[in-house]
Amino acid sequence: MRRAGELPDYLHREYRDAALPGGVQVMNGLFQLDRRSATRRRWARILTLEYLVRQFEGRVLVDFHHSSSPGYKKCAA
């Protein structure tokens, strides 16, 4: 059992670095990952999406570069 406030294993940096070499790259284009308001559950969802997009690389179109579009904003994580 995990103690309250303790991170699940999959959120520790060592595990993330092994599962996602180079860090979070794709989801960084969608979410403001530097915000501290992200809960552990939200962070886990973001990491899961990142992992899935990488697993299906080449079969999933990742074109999130809409920063030149008027009104474009990243989602707050």
- Overall pTM surpassing 0.85 (yes/no): no
72 within 8 A of 66, measured Cβ to Cβ? yes
Q: Rounded distance, CA 68 to CA 77, Å?
A: 21
Q: Rounded distance, CA 63 to CA 38, Å?
A: 24
Q: Rounded distance, CA 52 to CA 67, Å?
A: 24
54 within 8 A of 16, measured Cβ to Cβ? no
* Residue 51: per-residue pLDDT: 92
pLDDT band at 69 (very low <50, low <70, confident <90, very high): low
The domain segmentation of the chain, as residue ranges, is: 9-76
